[in-house]
Amino acid sequence: MLVFATETSCDETSICIMEDRKIVEHLIFSQEIHNKHGGVVPELASREHLIKLQDMSEKLLSNSNIQPKNIDVFAATCGPGLIGSLLVGSTFTKSLAINYNKPFIAINHLEGHVKSTSFNNNIKYPQLVLLLTGGHTQMYLMNEETNIELLGESMDDALGEAFDKIAKMLGLNYPGGPEIEKLAKYGDENYFDLPKPLINDSNCNFSFSGIKTYINLLIKKNKLEDKFIKNLSASFQKTISEIIIHKLLKGIEKLNDDYISIKSISIVGGVANNEYIKKKLENIFDSKKIDLYYPLKEMKNDNAAMIAWVCMQNYKTGDNDILFKPNPRMSILKNK
């Protein structure tokens, strides 16, 4: 089966052609226009998608030597995300589907991230999925391939958002995650003792805004010197990995009480790029004989390959979501 998928929920314009379990062609354009604003400006994001989508599609089709009439299904991210951006991508993709008289399938962006690791791993269930993006921090239980249950989530900022906001306070570029990771390598991770909100609660929820406030106070009391920025970046990253490990262990323990024995953990979304956090997780879970899965590099940040992959699994002959309205708050949970 040949799938043509687009992803435009935020500030990445991405298109993919997938054939069964093979990425035929995949393009990702990260909009740089937001960098000077220190965060995504929704209106600018929609305009950039509009400018890029058609040229990128033509390039994708000519690179792959595939005629659009040979595509079996067209799919697009329809939520959650920025409504203007979702509208640009889904309307463009629906037009192609109508033009070539093929079905259109609406895909949930979060489902794309959550299922991204099943593309390159044979998942052992039950598994925990930790979704760490710029907009979401959520822990899910998947008993099987199609069953997704929310165990906990951030009560305030998403983890990627916390990286971005702290980077901005430190005068670093957007996106902040990679910047903080780079500088943290040269800092003393034990220099600052940062708070770990909700660490003593018996649930799987997270909170990061308290750390942000604490760091803001530290910045006011200190000079923004190179050494200070490096030590703070390192201490923040260490604190974050301790919180993540603690909450994953809490989730495993709680499920164990319900006779559910976790066999694997998937770390998905942009923060999954962080190699420091990955090493810390490997140190803990390798010894516990719990498999740790990561997506392919090109399926960590926002991308259309994960959207094509979900379409490949969800599409049943005859489905057509051509009338589906993009939904900025679309839920991944079936009963919501």
Region 87-106 residues binding Zn ion, contact defined as CB under 5 A? none
Binding segment for ligand KG4 (CB under 6 A), chosen from 31-39, 56-64, 271-279, 323-331, is: 271-279
Region 196-255 residues binding ligand KG4, contact defined as CB under 6 A? none
Contact map string, positions 1 to 20, toward ligand KG4, x by CB under 6 A = ---------x----------
Assigned token pair, 38: 């220190």
CB 39 within 8 Å of CB 164 = yes
What gap in Å lies between CA 181 and CA 84, rounded to an integer? 31
In the bound state with ligand KG4, the residue whose beta carbon lies nearer, of 38 and 134, is 134
What gap in Å lies between CA 266 and CA 187, rounded to an integer? 28
# residues contacting ligand KG4 (CB under 6 A):
20
What gap in Å lies between CA 98 and CA 172, rounded to an integer? 45
Torsion sign across C-alpha atoms 189, 194, 196, 197: negative
Using CA atoms, how far residue 68 sits from 7, 21, 302, in Å, is 18, 19, 24
State yes or no: residue 12 binds Zn ion (CB under 5 A). Answer: no
Contacting residue, 269, 281, 299, 330, with ligand KG4 by CB under 6 A: 269
State yes or no: residue 133 binds Zn ion (CB under 5 A). Answer: yes
CB 104 within 8 Å of CB 321 = yes
Q: Return the one option of ligand KG4, Zn ion, none that residue 18 interacts with (CB less than 5 to 8 A, by type).
A: none
Phi and psi at 289, nearest 5°, equal 60, 35
State yes or no: residue 302 binds ligand KG4 (CB under 6 A). Answer: yes
Q: Is 203 exposed, middle or buried (0-12, 13-18, 19+ CB in 10 A)?
A: middle
CB 302 within 8 Å of CB 118 = no
Give the nearest distance from C-beta 222 to Zn ion in angstroms: 33
# residues contacting Zn ion (CB under 5 A):
2
Torsion sign across C-alpha atoms 108, 10, 29, 270: negative
Residue 327's Cβ-side half-sphere holds a number of Cα atoms within 13 Å equal to: 12
State yes or no: residue 116 binds Zn ion (CB under 5 A). Answer: no
State yes or no: residue 135 binds ligand KG4 (CB under 6 A). Answer: yes
CB 162 within 8 Å of CB 134 = no
Give the nearest distance from C-beta 302 to Zn ion in angstroms: 4
State yes or no: residue 14 binds Zn ion (CB under 5 A). Answer: no
Region 292-311 residues binding Zn ion, contact defined as CB under 5 A? 302
Binding segment for ligand KG4 (CB under 6 A), chosen from 41-49, 171-179, 191-199, 244-252, is: 171-179
Binding positions for Zn ion, rule: CB under 5 A? 133, 302
Binding positions for ligand KG4, rule: CB under 6 A? 10, 133-135, 160-161, 163-164, 175-178, 181, 269-271, 273-274, 301-302
